[in-house]
Amino acid sequence: MPDLKNRLIVIRDALASLLLAAALVTAAAAVLLCLRARALPLYIPAGVDEPAAVIDRFFSALRREDFEAAYACLSDGASLGLESVPEDGAGARLWLAQRGAWDYEIADGYGLSGTGLTRRVTVTAPDFSGAGAQLREYVQARLEAEMEAAVFGSEVLDESGGYREELVMAALDEAIDALAADPSACLRRLSLTVHLEYANGEWKLVPRASLITALTGGAVRGVDPGTPGAAAESYGMFVNNLVSEALEGLVVVPKVYWLPETAAAAPKPVQTAFGSSKKAADTAAALEQSAALLAGKHLLWSPDAATEPGRTIKWYADETIFTVCWREKLDLMTFNFCEVVIGHPSQFRRYIAENSFQSGRRFKPTQMARTVNAVAALSGDFIKYRRLGICVYQRALCRAESKKLDTCFVNAAGDLLFVRRGALKSEEAVRQYIEDNDVVFSLAFGPIMIENGASALPKGRYPVGQPNESYTRCVLCQLEECHYLLVTVNVSSARATTLARVTKVLLGMGVPKAYALDGGQTASLIINNELFNTVDFNQERTMSDILYFATALPEGG
């Protein structure tokens, strides 16, 4: 009986514990429901502004163009860059019209997000993306009126029979002024979620790209709020391309596309722009399609190229990027090449796992390529998992160990800048070099293989990569401005794949700049999220980083 009594007591206590736990869970759920349902959260301290008041103060200040007061409502002293103005005249006028013609409405109720709150806000702002037809109609009418008033056709028409460019641009100026004076016909409602955090005794808005998107009628997307001038620059590009479409057939205004440096991902490439074939000649149509982009470039690739028989050639072509991947046997080694031409340096990008140098995660390179919407990608330097080398990521210096490894810096022009190990003697010197050379990111592996069209391989021992042994190789080359060659070289049993032999082949092809990246099983060349080369052991290695090239065409056109 005592044993039975003890067991009953144990069971009773266990049931009591379960009931208490269930009660606590129910109470917590009830609190959460209350927080979501009430117009005001329960845990706002006395004397602290209601979060909605902070939201209202932020948007009201922006409407008055009191940017200092508006940005005081943002966490971390951030800026949205809305105080800047595009350099282009048309862009500036529409930007200023945009800033003065939007309104907002704060919805009822809060939501929860992590340790903060959310609230829905609807912004009504001019959306000029569909104004191309309106601009063209105005310009055409103005030009026809000029033609009717002219005594001689030569007053309006040029030698080829088209309208004189100065008249077209004058008509465009009038059309832009008319659109800016009354943007009410272009208003668009965009609903967004505003995030708030409580810190240091007050609520603050978390600056996000979605705020800029809503306030610009959807024109500016993916811009980092902390990058000065980025929103205005992106808006200027938007207006330039709007004008290009409006004046098509009247005056040539080249379209320009670029990507924000700190955007977490690029636009998705157009799947129909990818192609593949076992015949080199089948790339001719893609080359013709990219003729404007490739003008003046000296391509290694040719539809007459002697590729490895039976191997598939892959390519991608749109108006902002051309890339082609092929395989060749050279000096008894298997070379996998990917030649890339981009329209703007911002399309040459670096990605560290989870977009953070602090991340401890590793991913397969094809996974990372998919995450950032890469057209083509190359495995990097495994920067997060060794302590050597200088690391610059999104213009921030993350590590300044400069004694052991050659560094490849990449500047805002997309150029590879090589610095020998030990050349920068201190962290201060590294920071000065970054500032003086407009460095966006760096690579820390090496060694430098080719510089100024000559071999630059170091003499003696190099601490990583086993340059004098037989390993699969991975190399980044720059051929010209915005023109690159990505290379992996598989181990050949007949000929050791040393860096010296790879360098000799690349020099024979006329490569002026080359830098070694992490090889072996790391070496991965990717196009359209698929491996192009055969990786060691037929198994992708998880790693910390990739280099990639992206389209700059906005998704959806």
**Confidence class of residue 19 from pLDDT cuts 50, 70 and 90?**
low
Residue 302 confidence (pLDDT)? 93
- Residues 113 and 126: their CA atoms lie apart, in Å, by 30
Segment 135-145 shows an average pLDDT of 92
Residues 483-541: pLDDT tens digits?
999 999 987 655 668 999 999 999 999 999 999 999 999 999 999 999 999 999 999 99
Residue 223 confidence (pLDDT)? 78
Torsion angles phi and psi, residue 485, rounded to 5: -135, 120
Nearest one of 104, 10, 108 to 52, comparing CA atoms: 108
Q: Which two tokens stand for residue 215?
A: 């306030």
- Residues 120 and 108: their CA atoms lie apart, in Å, by 8
Place of tokens 């050791």: 496
Segment 206-231 shows an average pLDDT of 84
Q: Is residue 15 part of a domain?
A: yes
Torsion angles phi and psi, residue 278, rounded to 5: -95, 0
User: Within 13 Å, how many C-alpha atoms sit on residue 354's CB side?
Assistant: 8
Segment 298-312 shows an average pLDDT of 93
Number of domains in the chain: 3
Q: Specify the range with the lowest mean pLDDT, choosing from 115-129, 262-276, 491-505.
A: 491-505
Q: Is residue 279 part of a domain?
A: no
Residues 30 and 101 in one domain: no
Which stretches does DSSP call E strand in 231-307?
A: 274-277
Q: What is the mean pLDDT of the chain?
A: 88
3-state secondary structure (DSSP) of residue 227: coil
Residue 8 confidence (pLDDT)? 45
With vertex at residue 479, the alpha carbon angle to CA 476 and CA 230, rounded to the nearest 5 degrees, is: 80
Residues 527 and 467 in one domain: yes
Q: Specify the range with the lowest mean pLDDT, choosing from 25-34, 103-112, 354-363.
A: 25-34
Residues 503 and 536 in one domain: yes
Please identify, among 199, 214, 246, the residue that sits at the C-terminal boundary of a domain: 246
Residue 495 confidence (pLDDT)? 62
Q: Is residue 426 part of a domain?
A: no
Residue 4 confidence (pLDDT)? 47
The CATH number of whichever domain residue 96 belongs to comes to: 3.10.450
Residues 71 and 202 in one domain: yes
Q: Specify the range with the lowest mean pLDDT, choosing from 36-45, 169-178, 503-512.
A: 36-45
Residues 86 and 12 in one domain: no
Q: Where are the alpha helices (DSSP H) in 129-229?
A: 132-149, 165-181, 209-215
Q: Is the pLDDT of residue 1 over 70?
A: no
Q: Is the pLDDT of residue 151 over 80?
A: yes
Segment 248-269 shows an average pLDDT of 87
- Residues 280 and 290: their CA atoms lie apart, in Å, by 16
Segment 449-464 shows an average pLDDT of 95
More confident of the two residues 352 and 229? 352
- Residues 48 and 203: their CA atoms lie apart, in Å, by 8
* Residues 322, 286 contacting (CB under 8 angstroms): yes
Segment 461-480 shows an average pLDDT of 94
Residue 39 confidence (pLDDT)? 42
Residues 118 and 224 in one domain: yes
Q: Specify the range with the lowest mean pLDDT, choosing from 239-253, 421-435, 516-530.
A: 239-253
Q: Is residue 364 part of a domain?
A: yes
* Residues 291, 281 contacting (CB under 8 angstroms): no
Could you tell me the residue range of the domain that residue 89 belongs to?
51-130+167-246
Rg of the chain over all Cα atoms, to the nearest angstrom: 29
Residue 63 confidence (pLDDT)? 92
Residues 176-206: pLDDT tens digits?
999 999 998 899 998 889 999 988 888 999 9
Nearest one of 123, 238, 246 to 178, comparing CA atoms: 246
Q: Is the pLDDT of residue 23 over 60?
A: no
Amino acid (1-letter code) at residue 281: A
Q: Which two tokens stand for residue 305?
A: 């190229």
Q: Is residue 157 part of a domain?
A: no
Q: Is residue 338 part of a domain?
A: yes
Please identify, among 220, 246, 272, the residue that sits at the C-terminal boundary of a domain: 246
Q: Is residue 298 part of a domain?
A: no
Residue 17 confidence (pLDDT)? 59
Amino acid (1-letter code) at residue 113: S
Residues 15 and 101 in one domain: no
Question: Could you give the C-alpha distances from 51 to 59, 117, 123, in angstroms and in order?
Answer: 13, 8, 18
Residues 355 and 236 in one domain: no
Residue 440 confidence (pLDDT)? 94
* Residues 314, 324 contacting (CB under 8 angstroms): yes
Residues 68 and 187 in one domain: yes
**Who's near 430: CB < 8 A, 6+ residues apart?**
390, 397, 400, 402, 424
Place of tokens 């020099």: 507
Segment 324-337 shows an average pLDDT of 94
Please identify, among 246, 266, 285, the residue that sits at the C-terminal boundary of a domain: 246
Segment 321-335 shows an average pLDDT of 94
Residue 264 confidence (pLDDT)? 84
Percent residues over pLDDT 70 in the chain: 90
Residues 230 and 372 in one domain: no
Residues 345 and 450 in one domain: yes
**Confidence class of residue 46 from pLDDT cuts 50, 70 and 90?**
low
Q: Which two tokens stand for residue 344?
A: 């703007």
Residues 69 and 28 in one domain: no
Q: Which two tokens stand for residue 126?
A: 């001019």
Q: Is residue 16 part of a domain?
A: yes
Percent residues over pLDDT 90 in the chain: 65
**Confidence class of residue 387 from pLDDT cuts 50, 70 and 90?**
confident
Residue 168 confidence (pLDDT)? 93
